[in-house]
Amino acid sequence: MFQASLKVSILVLVVILGIFVAIKAHKSYSKQQERKAYRQMQHTVAERMVAGHYYNAELDLQMPYRLFVPERAATATDQTYPIILALHSGRGRANDNIKQIDHTIEILISGLVQDIEPAYVLAPQADEWTHWVDYDSFSPPFLNFSQQEIPQSDNLKTAIQLLRHIIDSYGIDRERVYITGISMGGEGTWDALTYYPELFAAAIPLNGAGDPEALPRIERMPIRFFHGSADTITPVENSRALNQALRNFPNNAVYTELPNAGHDIRDLVYTKELFEWLFAQRRES
């Protein structure tokens, strides 16, 4: 009787272990398929963009980039079109001119955006172990900061120099230069706006961080910024503090907090209505 019971118990344990192993293998396979699909997306999108490297001689810094040129812009050389500078998140750091091609770029060159109006999309790439904002750590959380303590990074200086070069080289509407970014790119977006307010017509920072004391420089800038309340990488307190600082003077910024949303909120934020708003913005003379 005891032996029979023992055999049944062992059989049950074997079955449970088998189910556990099968579930784990399925999850591992699913993750492999997701990574494979993501890499395929990156290469497919990258093939639709011009590849280049920009050299900042002053800083001795070379920055890879991809540029999406709208088909209409390639044929109608007598017209100008807006440009969106897209700053990647930490996942895009490398020197391969591929990893910065993320879901943001996929959306920006898709019909969701391009059917509203053809637009150039510029995707520069920061190197490994660097930031758009030079935090002294690569471990979260990433918080609001003071520009007096963290000066403008060489990466951001070079990305802006690259942007100006592209504007001079292509048929860009200088009154409609836009910027967006999430996470590390959101931090870079806030920093770029406050260092170069004369350059941009509007901005869409997502789950970012910035210097609240620098915001008076962009009091006229049209901004739509967003944050997921459950973000643990760049805490929602960042955007709450920025929003509070903006209330101290007249501004054109609108903050939207997404309840229970985490770090990647792009599918919730990047909508047709948002980009219709973006393309309607023009830089004040």
pLDDT tens per residue across span 117-165: 999 999 999 999 999 999 999 999 999 999 999 999 999 999 999 999 9
User: Taking residues 57-85, what's their average pLDDT?
Assistant: 93
Per-residue model confidence (pLDDT) at position 24: 61
Task: State how far the Cα of 52 lies from the Cα of 16, in Å rounded to an integer.
Answer: 54
106-113 long-range CB contacts below 8 Å, 24 or more apart? Answer: 106/41, 106/45, 107/266, 107/270, 108/68, 108/84, 108/180, 109/45, 109/48, 109/49, 109/68, 112/270, 112/272, 112/275, 113/275
User: Taking all residues of the chain, what is their mean pLDDT, rounded to a whole number?
Assistant: 93
Asked if residue 13 and residue 89 are part of one domain, the reply reads no
- Residue 198 forms part of a structural domain: yes
Asked if residue 5 and residue 128 are part of one domain, the reply reads no
Task: State how far the Cα of 7 lies from the Cα of 12, in Å rounded to an integer.
Answer: 9
Asked if residue 169 and residue 255 are part of one domain, the reply reads yes
Asked if residue 56 and residue 28 are part of one domain, the reply reads no
Asked if residue 114 and residue 1 are part of one domain, the reply reads no
Task: Say if CB 223 and CB 201 are below 8 A apart.
Answer: no
Residue partners of 232: CB distance under 8 A and separation at least 6? 140, 141, 262, 263
Q: Which of 9-13, 41-45, 233-237, 239-243 has the lowest mean pLDDT?
A: 9-13
Give the CA distances from residue 38 to residues 42, 101, 106, 151, in Å, rounded to whole numbers and listed in that order: 6, 10, 11, 34
Asked if residue 135 and residue 39 are part of one domain, the reply reads no
Neighbours of 60 (CB within 10 A): 8
The reported pTM is: 0.89
| Residue with the two structure tokens 């200086």 | 157
Asked if residue 142 and residue 87 are part of one domain, the reply reads yes
